[in-house]
Amino acid sequence: MAGIPGLLFLLLLLLLCAVGQVSPSGAHWKPTWPAYRLPVVLPQSTLHLGKPDFGAEAKLEVSSSCGPQCHKGTPLPTYEEAKQYLSYETLYANGSRTETQVGIYVLSGGSGGQESSRKARRKRQIYGYDSRFSIFGKDFLLNYPFSTSVKLSTGCTGTLVAERHVLTAAHCIHDGKTYVKGTQKLRVGFLKPKFKDGGRGANSSSSAIPEKMKFQWIRVKRTHVPKGWIKGNANDIGMDYDYALLELKKPHKRKFMKIGVSPPAKQLPGGRIHFSGYDNDRPGNLVYRFCDVKDETYDLLYQQCDAQPGASGSGVYVRMWKRQQQKWERKIIGIFSGHQWVDMNGSPQDFNVAVRITPLKYAQICYWIKGNYLDCREG
């Protein structure tokens, strides 16, 4: 395993984007998960920090005026910058906090911000006809993939990505300067049906009419937030790193959805993405939606999926063919972050934005989950 010389780092990023891409062709072509040559992101040193004040107000959405063309014109990070952005803070349930510096390696032989605009945006998070679907009934809510969506006590959504891990947006627990109120006692809620007539074990979905929903909560043991999100390190590109991983105090015992490296938008089935979340205009409901990807950068996907605050942190997923196992598989390829006002040739245009799981982000998040880089060789 070798470190990456700084001058070769940009070439590596381009290579990671290119390996395994397959162009759709032929009558029997299936949208297939690409094979990527993945890097390794490993801890190098850990520093103990003081306890945060947990004084930030929870924001259920973030906004930025830097749109697709703005991001495309931004140079890719250098090797040293990438190490800085992928270094991370860990917050523990007792309020203690650490900062971990990382190294990046390859295995040898391996494979618009005006206040008036913000007010208008809140009215326009639904694009035309509201295409969201509220998911009702235990036969849907408790079954995969909808059962992987969970609610954070700070008001956001998260997705189960391992036996005791939840992927969400960084802004749901950290405002870029400090942790939000309630993060020290952060909980994750699992939606469960509450039957009015006591027919909990009945097979018929009509046995409990109507069903009301309640949450079963599990405390969070620790959280990881990349330094790229924290102000002062990558202020201008913070939205690119708007993701966080939560480790629960006990296993949740539900089926989870694995993370995967985000393929190019043109390789997505139908060019579409899917996600489910707890939009705050439909309290108690899990809301599912899908839509086309309108544009992309190396770190972000731009789309106009209907969404409201509360859905941020949702795992964006697609279903593609897994060639090695000869089966279809859903994977999380991004995290729904928020919206951006974009100046498109002098005309304001708004997009909802998802943070893409790039090869480097996959290596980092996978290590957070597994604790062993050898288990993170397949994206």
- For the stretch 320-359, pLDDT in tens is 999 888 999 999 999 998 876 666 666 777 788 899 999 9
Question: Does position 364 have pLDDT exceeding 60, yes or no?
Answer: yes
The CATH number given to 32-106+133-194+211-370 is 2.40.10.10
- Decide which of 86 and 281 is more confident: 86
**Top-ranked range on mean pLDDT: pick from 99-113, 242-256, 337-351:** 242-256
Average pLDDT, the chain: 80
Question: Which region, left, alpha or beta, applies to residue 155 given φ > 0 means left and ψ of -120 to 50 means alpha?
Answer: left
Question: For the residues 267-281, what does the mean pLDDT come to?
Answer: 89
d(CA 244, CA 222): 11
Set 45, 130, 206, 236: catalytic member: 236
d(CA 269, CA 168): 24
Predicted local distance difference test score (pLDDT) of residue 69? 79
Set 171, 174, 224, 252: catalytic member: 171
d(CA 180, CA 52): 10
* Angle in degrees, CA 311, 237, 374, rounded to 5: 80
Integer CA distances (angstroms), 305 to 60, 129, 163, 212, 333, in order: 16, 11, 29, 27, 16
Which pair of tokens denotes residue 270? 């139908």
Is the model's pTM score more than 0.75?
Answer: yes
Question: Does position 255 have pLDDT exceeding 50, yes or no?
Answer: yes
Residues 183-216 have pLDDT tens digits of 999 999 998 766 554 444 433 333 343 455 688 9
Predicted local distance difference test score (pLDDT) of residue 72? 82
236 is catalytic: yes
Domain boundaries, given as residue ranges, for the chain: 32-106+133-194+211-370
Query: Looking at residue 259, what DSSP letter applies?
Result: B
174 is catalytic: no
> Strand pairing of 286-296 and 272-277?
antiparallel
Question: Does position 35 have pLDDT exceeding 80, yes or no?
Answer: yes
Residues 145-154 have pLDDT tens digits of 888 999 999 9
Question: Does position 111 have pLDDT exceeding 50, yes or no?
Answer: no
Set 63, 153, 276, 312: catalytic member: 312
299 is catalytic: no
Predicted local distance difference test score (pLDDT) of residue 224? 98
d(CA 81, CA 7): 13
Per-residue buried b or exposed e for 241-273, using 16+ beta carbons within 10 Å of the residue's own CB: bbbbbbbbeeebeeebbebbbbbebebbbeeeb
